Amino acid sequence: MLVIQQLPAELWLQVFGLLSWSDKLNLRCTCVHFRHLVDKSRPLWHGFSVALRNFSRYNRPFWRSLAQRRVDIISVRSGKRKHLKQLATWLPALGALRLDDWREVGVDELKLFQWMQRLSVTSCSSPLKNIDFLFSLSQRLLELRLCNVKLTCPASHLLAALSQLTRLTSLQLHHDGSLRVPTLSGVLTHLTELKHLSWTMITYRTLSRDFFSPAHLTGGGALQLSDLQLLNYDAVVTQEVLQPLSRLLSLSIFHLYSVPGPICHLQTWLTSLPQLRSLSVHGGHPLAVYAEFLPCSLLSLTLCVDLQPEDLQVVSHRAPHLEHLHLEPWSSSSGLVRLLPQLFPHLRTLRIRHHHLSDSDFLNLQQLQHLVTLEVLDSFYKPDPTDPSRVVYQPSPRLLQLISDLQKLTNHRVRVITSSHRDPLSCHCV
């Protein structure tokens, strides 16, 4: 202990900064000195999130430790209004909050958080009778997510509340189709700072001429919107409708429950977005239907669709400079991964599944000379062939060996990830 205390605190904090969240929590339990250093150093906890449930379990030392660290993100599960009051007492400067499975009809206590910038409300057990709490957050809220929330207020009231959030840069609204908003022009007129928009499209069959045209755009101007996510999209659209989105850099289409019709409207989108850098498609039509329409500006591509090896050949010609690829076809990818070094030599990040890959195909990824990060999406295995119901959710011995071999072949240039860390405020729709 004497030796530990003789070393300067700055040196220990440099070492602690390299640790994972779980390692930091374990470290603070080893001795009083380390606990003091870890808890008092706020930079060590930047970005740290905590999920809270059953508030009766938390005592004063627990709340005091969170206050000392100035925790950035809190997720409240199955919460009630009294829990928000308790949270505001100890963490009045909280900047990000997620309410998951909210149990009451109102959340007026959100006005107690004077510094709230990011808010997510997901999967409410009870319908929200009103959303007046948004008015109290209008001067500071930058990000808002409403997902699987039953809103009993009229759509006009919702739009009026959203229009007050003039500082909003990110808006996500996912619902079951009960919300009827004819166009997004009213929302976009007031949210001039909006960069990211995620919207449920299940109620739309044809997009009106002014769907993306806010009132402040005249003379063929373009929105500042750079990232657009559309859930259950299958609406008729024209290039004229999409003209305000000419600056869009990222487009994501999710077919969660809807079955696409005979016409692939994605073709129109791809020919109308000349600056598109990132495209994500989940479900819908096979890749062959729109591969020829991919813009050559693409640098990032996510394909969770039906595709064949010859489709990837088309993609490589249409997007020759692709740097980021997430390949998760409906059928097995065993015959596709071996093609990647030849088709996409500039890849820097790659996300794939490995269960049906041969060892040689996996190790063949060493030929991707610019690859920096490889993410394995199915890092689980069944240790007992006679008991297929037993699943171990961690990398199998085979995968660990493959990772070790690949890193040796690349001189540890490639970082292999086997578990992703999602934004604690994000929903599970996307």
Per residue in 82-124, pLDDT tens?
999 999 999 998 999 999 998 888 888 998 998 999 999 998 8
Query: Is 359 a member of any domain?
Result: yes
Rounded Cα gap, residues 430 and 414, in angstroms: 27
Domain stop point among 234, 263, 290: 290
Same domain membership, residue 283 and residue 187: yes
Domain stop point among 290, 309, 328: 290
Query: Is 349 a member of any domain?
Result: yes
Total of domains in the chain: 2
pLDDT in tens, 146-172: 998 888 888 888 888 999 999 999 999
Rounded Cα gap, residues 11 and 212, in angstroms: 53
Same domain membership, residue 345 and residue 281: no
Same domain membership, residue 286 and residue 208: yes
Query: Is 199 a member of any domain?
Result: yes
Same domain membership, residue 346 and residue 280: no
236 DSSP assignment: B
Per-residue buried b or exposed e for 264-292, using 16+ beta carbons within 10 Å of the residue's own CB: bbbebbbebbeebbbbbbbbbbebebbbe
**DSSP bridge partners of 304:** 282
Range(s) of the domain holding residue 355: 338-421
Query: Is 284 a member of any domain?
Result: yes
Q: Which of 44, 39, 33, 36 is nearest to 5 (CA)?
A: 33
Query: Is 267 a member of any domain?
Result: yes
Residues 6 or more apart whose CB falls under 8 angstroms from that of 413 comprise: 371, 372
Instruction: Reduce the DSSP state of residue 420 to 3 states and report it.
Output: coil
Same domain membership, residue 346 and residue 284: no
Same domain membership, residue 356 and residue 278: no
Query: Is 260 a member of any domain?
Result: yes
Residues 306/287, Cβ–Cβ less than 8 Å: yes
Query: Is 296 a member of any domain?
Result: no
Query: Is 114 a member of any domain?
Result: no
Same domain membership, residue 185 and residue 286: yes
Same domain membership, residue 273 and residue 357: no
SS3 content of the chain, % helix, strand, coil (to 5): 30, 15, 50
Concatenating the DSSP letter of every residue in 170-224 gives: EEEEE-SS----S-SHHHHHH-TT--EEEEE-TT-SB--TTTT--TT--SS---S
Domain stop point among 250, 272, 290: 290
Concatenating the DSSP letter of every residue in 247-289 gives: T--EEEEE-SSPPP-SS-THHHHHHH-TT--EEEEESSS-GGG
The CATH number of residue 248's host domain is: 3.80.10
Question: pLDDT tens, position by position, for the chain (430 residues)?
Answer: 556 666 777 787 787 777 777 787 788 788 888 887 877 777 777 778 899 999 999 999 899 888 887 888 999 999 999 999 999 999 998 999 999 998 888 888 998 998 999 999 998 877 888 788 898 888 899 999 999 888 888 888 888 899 999 999 999 999 887 788 889 998 898 898 999 999 999 889 999 999 998 866 655 567 889 999 999 998 999 999 999 998 899 999 998 766 678 889 999 999 999 899 999 999 999 999 999 999 999 999 999 999 999 999 999 999 999 999 999 998 776 789 999 999 999 999 999 999 889 999 999 999 999 999 999 999 888 888 888 888 888 899 999 999 999 999 999 999 999 987 778 888 888 7
Same domain membership, residue 278 and residue 379: no
Same domain membership, residue 285 and residue 212: yes
**Single-letter code of the amino acid located at 146:** L
Same domain membership, residue 342 and residue 278: no
